[in-house]
Amino acid sequence: MCRDKFELINGRDYLVLSRLMHDRNSCAHPAFVAPDDVFAPTAELARSHIVSAVDAVLQHPPTPGKRIVQRFITEIGSIAWPSDDDDLVGYLRERYLGQQRESAKRQLAGLILKCSLALPDDVPNRSRLMLRYPQCARALNEVAPALFEEVLADVVRKKEETVGLSEDEIRFGIGALGDIAAFWEALPGGSGPRIVECIQTSTSAQLVEAGALSVTPPDAGVGEEVNVLLGERLKDIEARLLVDALSLRSVPKLVDQAVARIENSGSWSTTNTLMPLMPALVPTLTVQHVKRLCVAATTNYEIYQANSADFEFTRLFELTNEWVGVRNEWIELARFEHPYNNNLPAFPDARAAVIARWGAGVL
């Protein structure tokens, strides 16, 4: 009952406790042993049984597995939830994946992975949970990789070998777990063509919503082929959808794409759509990104003519002017004169900010 109904112990715990019970009965009831053979356990065997009892039962806090899962469901849907990846890893390790029983950990891992693949439309706080469950799945892989791989293989293979993963589950599964080799290894070999077709035929909006364009699948299973397809799809998405993708996860591949789109902007609209993102992306931007943006601002008409450019470059300057290696590029941007506006400064506010920071002599 403790193993099968309440899931308080796992199969291994059941075996070691069964041995303990057998030896206990042999000591307490000599009739269980041959009449002329009295069972006398050695000190080493007694110590072994004590260790087994502690490992299987006595070391665990008095929290049933189902209560742990219910507490997790309540907390992940609340406002008070760690948003930083490192904080979440520590939170899961200490609160849910520490001294809890293995059966409880498996239940929790199963819930996290199933909800990363699909969430019911009517679940409360669905938009919030669509971001949090995948984040939890990635944190779970860091905290307990062996548990993650074991439960993931069970969830994905059972699903794919029975009713099959739906198109939504394929997309959201890739968005949540596509960076991890274990996801692709868990898929049956025959699933490859369905997954490839799903990526090819899904709309850009569907791929963005699922977070599929944010991942870089490894060379495992069909992951390598999917990675090529996702790269092709990313190049073709509209600027507004790139903004949506970055709002979900500001990963380097999306940041690189946004910088390249601004750099090669063919319309004011692209600049006005993507440039306001740059200050918010400073934690992910590199020195090379900033240098490329500054150079492009003085050479691409669609950038220096865009109505948001001066304001956004000024904001970006305020956040990056102390970075090593960007000073010369900011000075060149401040010097740049608009060729179609009487040679006045193309970025007057950014120019004023440069003078305030380094003095007029630099120009």
Q: Which residues contact 113 (CB under 8 A, 6 or more apart)?
A: 137, 140, 148, 151, 152, 155, 177
Cα dihedral 342, 331, 323, 85, rounded to 10, equals 10
Is 3 part of any domain? no
The number of folded domains in the chain is: 2
Is 142 part of any domain? no
Query: 256 near 231, Cβ under 8 Å?
Result: no
Nearest-angstrom CA–CA distance, 232 and 218: 16
pLDDT of residue 6: 46
Would you state the structure tokens that stand for residue 74, as one six-digit string?
């309540």
- β partners of residue 285: none
Tracing tokens 């082929």 back to the chain, one arrives at: 225
Q: Specify the DSSP class assigned to residue 42.
A: -
Instruction: Please report, in tens digits, the pLDDT of each residue of the chain (363 residues total).
Output: 455 544 556 667 767 777 777 767 767 665 555 555 666 777 777 777 677 766 766 665 555 556 788 889 999 999 889 988 899 999 999 888 877 778 888 889 999 999 998 888 888 888 889 999 999 999 999 999 999 999 999 998 888 778 888 999 999 999 999 999 999 998 887 888 999 999 999 999 999 999 999 999 999 889 999 999 999 999 999 999 999 999 989 999 999 999 999 999 999 999 999 999 999 999 999 999 999 999 999 999 999 999 999 999 999 999 999 999 999 999 999 999 999 888 899 999 999 999 999 999 998
Is 326 part of any domain? yes
Distance from first CA to last CA of the chain, Å, rounded?
Answer: 81
Is 174 part of any domain? no
Q: What are phi and psi of 358, to 5 degrees?
A: -120, -5
pLDDT of residue 123: 84
Query: 143 near 93, Cβ under 8 Å?
Result: yes
Q: What are phi and psi of 167, to 5 degrees?
A: -60, -40
pLDDT of residue 101: 76
Would you state the structure tokens that stand for residue 134, as one six-digit string?
């995948």
Write the CA distances from 8 to 14, 106, 147, integer angstroms.
10, 12, 17
Nearest-angstrom CA–CA distance, 326 and 354: 12
Is 97 part of any domain? no
Residue where a domain stops, chosen among 41, 58, 75: 58
pLDDT of residue 35: 56
Query: 274 near 261, Cβ under 8 Å?
Result: yes
Is 342 part of any domain? yes
Closest CA to 308 of 355, 257, 349: 349
User: Around Cβ 36, how many Cβ atoms within 10 Å?
Assistant: 5
- What is the Cα Rg of the chain in Å? 29
Cα dihedral 354, 359, 361, 363, rounded to 10, equals 10
Is 75 part of any domain? no
Q: 262: domain range?
A: 242-363
Is 81 part of any domain? no
Nearest-angstrom CA–CA distance, 351 and 298: 13
Query: 112 near 147, Cβ under 8 Å?
Result: no
